[in-house]
Amino acid sequence: MESPNFSSQLRRSILVHSTMGILTIGLTVSIVSIAFFYFNLRSELIDKLAYSLRIKSMTVDEFSNRAQDITLQITSRTKIREKLEEFNRGEIRREQLASFSAPLLADAMRQSSEIAGISRLDAKGELAVSIGIPIPPAVWPIPETTSGKVRFRGPLILEGNSYLVLGAAIIGQENRRAGTDIVLFNTEKLQEFLKDYTGLGKRGETILGLPGNGGINLLVPLRAEMKRRHLAAPIVLSPTAPVAEALRSGLANKSGTLIPDSTSIIAYGPLPRPGWALAVRMDKDDLYAPMYHEILMMVAIILLLLLIGYYGMIVVLRPLTKAILIKAEDLEKQIKEKTAQLEVSTAALLDEKDQLIKSHAELGKTYADLKAAQSRILQQEKMASIGQLAAGVAHEINNPMGFIISNLNTLAKYMGRIFEVMKAQDVALEGLAANGSEELTEVSKRVNEKKRQAKMDYITEDTAALIRESLEGAERVKKIVQDLKEFSHIDAAKWGDQDINAGLDSTLRMLTNVLNQAVVIKKYGDLPLIRCNIGQLNQVFMNILTNAAQSIAPQGEIIIETWSDHNSAFISIADDGCGIRQEDLNRIFEPFFTTKEVGQGTGLGLSIAYDIVKKHNGTMQVCSEVGHGTTLTIKIPVV
């Protein structure tokens, strides 16, 4: 039996650990919940800033659209446009054009309080009429086409006030440019909107960026510089300003959210029609202030609940711990008995487990060896079938092709004789018609007409061409059959003295479609005849060249080089493809290992090639670097 002092300590320990465990779980759940709430609410506040940007963009778009519509309405007035066309044709003087157009343009100017001045240019781009504030020629935004688009420029500072200048082509008859209207717009209302910082906190602001000469111009100064800024020239934004990167992205037709430093967040986006960018910036403290308040309230409530839960757990657990101690003593006795039994059973199970692991490893190795051997046998049977098929194809096609080629040559001779006889008949008929009666002349004309209708001259020329093309096609079929025979080497014994360079050429011809996008460079050296099974070596070359073609896809270069020394012949096949990772180089000759995607390779190509070279008492070496290509070098003894 345990001492009462130990039981008291155990009871106290159970109370403390149980209470602390539950409190820890509560704190963990609370922290996770607060973190989840924090990230979600922060995301919502950033989305709210982006939404504010969209609302403000709509207002700026409304101003730019209104300015464009007003400009296009001025250019579309028929009477002053027709008078401008008369001036362009030289029918009236400039003074007459000005006296007629000025009142009408002034009327158009009175239609909108935002118009500060209008300058109308003729077809040559020279000033014809000007009302309101004069617009300097240096800032005239002349549209490049007659597409009806309005071109923006600005801001323009005149007498301490900021203006935007819009230019639109005046389209006359036959869709030709009759002139250009340059309209000066007052930006006072737009500036008031941009200076409205409601909802943006103490230092937040709305920034409108306009493309300038190699930089970004601002219509309204930054909020921090508002009081000490006096407009004498366009406001050029510093390239290092936190908002500069956001406006550059907006001018590049991009939108998003930027956090340039630890104090502010910027939402930005493009205004495509006028080619501007708009950004809304807020301090993090101002943007996240509602979130911080909510989190503080949540933390206070959670702490209060945890405190109440702590005292509740103590009250509930006190009577339970006494019963737990009694039950624990009984369980301890049972555990000791069961532990002794389990130790005996565990020792027996461990012995059986070791035996199973060894058996499983042996079975796995046997299965892998069997699978690799089966694949090699299938591959050998496949190549044997190809050889038999090539022999059958060669036998069945070569004889008919010999008849076809012989008959086509004979047909060419016969047709030549027929055409010579026809030509002699034509000469004789023309001679009789020239020296004979009108009846013979009429017969000659009818014969010539029939020949013309039948296109005998064309038939004579085309028949020879058709026979020549048929002979070329037959010779090509004969060459394909010969290539197939050479590749499978059906006409030679399995082992014999063979020309390796010829085997490479045969394999390349068989892979014409596979290598059609590759540049194949051949650097053949003088090789002695090698005693080998050329059909098997051709299979090695095919597997390596196929891998090279796949690695350089869609285009690349393959270099095939051969040379020899006194004892060995060397074949090197190099490509400039994707290369092989260093950790894979030691495994590329293993059966079923492949770096290709599932379904694009069996992993047997190089394994079979390696075994074939090994049967020839040769070696294969690979050198590869990712991104620079792979080189495989085969060494085969000469004797």
CA 286 from centroid of its chain's CA atoms: 40
Read off the pTM.
0.43
Does position 590 have pLDDT exceeding 80, yes or no?
no
DSSP state of 266: E
- Please provide the DSSP assignment of 57-124 as one string: HHHHHHHHHHHHHHHHHHHT-HHHHHHHHHHHTTSS-HHHHHHHHHHHHHHHHHT-TTEEEEEEE-TT
Is residue 283 within 8 Å of residue 260, measured between CB atoms? Answer: no
Burial per residue of 128-161, b for 16 or more beta-carbon CB atoms within 10 angstroms, e otherwise: bbbbebebeeebbbebeeeeeebbbbbbbebeee
Is residue 501 within 8 Å of residue 572, measured between CB atoms? Answer: no
Per mean pLDDT, which range of 102-106, 325-329, 372-376, 439-443 is the poorest?
372-376
List the end-to-end C-alpha distance of the chain, in Å, as a whole number.
91
Give the helix/strand (H/E) hosting 349: helix 284-435
3-state secondary structure of 114: coil
Tokens of 582: 């260093």
CA 571 from centroid of its chain's CA atoms: 38
- The bridge status of strand 256-258 relative to strand 276-283 is unpaired
Residues 19-50: tens digit of each pLDDT: 777 778 877 877 887 777 667 767 777 888 88
Give the best-scoring range by mean pLDDT among 82-91, 252-261, 281-290: 82-91
Per mean pLDDT, which range of 145-154, 185-194, 388-397, 604-613 is the poorest?
388-397
Tokens of 104: 């009408």
**What percent of the chain clears pLDDT 90, i.e. is strictly above it?**
13
The band of 395, judged by pLDDT with boundaries at 50, 70 and 90, is low
pLDDT in the model for residue 569: 94
Does position 212 have pLDDT exceeding 60, yes or no?
yes
Q: What is the mean pLDDT of the chain?
A: 80
The band of 134, judged by pLDDT with boundaries at 50, 70 and 90, is very high
Q: Which domains does the chain have, with CATH numbers?
A: 493-637 (3.30.565.10)
Helix, strand, coil abundance in the chain, percent, nearest 5: 60, 20, 25
pLDDT in the model for residue 194: 83
Is residue 624 within 8 Å of residue 542, measured between CB atoms? Answer: no
Mean pLDDT value of segment 358-385: 67
Tokens of 542: 């095919």
DSSP state of 293: H
- Please provide the DSSP assignment of 215-232 as one string: SEEESS--GGGSTT---S
Residue 413: other Cβ atoms inside 10 A:
10
